[in-house]
Amino acid sequence: MYVYLSKILPLFVMPIGVTLFLVLVALILLRKGIVRTGSVFVLLSFIYLWVMATPIVGEGLYRRVESAYPPVLLDQIPESDCLIVLGGAVQAPAPPRIDIEFNDAVDRVHKAAELYREGKAPYVIVTGGIERW
């Protein structure tokens, strides 16, 4: 159940979800004849989407989240029995492509390879799976 919620709930707090909600409220207000407030909601939805899509806001939010997890130098990482690489770095080829596509999570593979080459663990376990949807 948690897996499904973790995939669905972010849709309601991401900028496009909030924007669509604001547009929906605007459409309801406009349909009821409350034109002035409905128009304000339409304008607010587009301003909100534009602001959230600007690089300064997006990068600022990423920086704020990532600052809680500063990078660690390789020599500071302790040795382990194995490395576990979480799946999700590849996706099925979309026609007309015939090879798999790497996405933003491919850095997991690069970091695991780097740690393996540095001798931090003798084994690498790669996980993966397919969600039913």
d(CA 72, CA 120): 14
Q: Of 13, 40, 20, 18, whose CA–CA distance to 29 is shortest?
A: 40
Model pTM? 0.57
Reduce the DSSP state of residue 102 to 3 states and report it. strand
d(CA 70, CA 61): 15
**Looking at residue 82, what is its pLDDT?**
96
**Looking at residue 129, what is its pLDDT?**
64
Q: Of 92, 81, 82, 86, whose CA–CA distance to 126 is shortest?
A: 86
Residue-wise pLDDT tens digits, 42-95? 999 999 999 999 999 989 988 998 999 998 899 999 999 999 998 878 777 888
Instruction: Read off the pLDDT of each residue in 93-113 and give the average, rounded to a whole number.
Output: 86
- Six-digit token string for 12: 């309601």
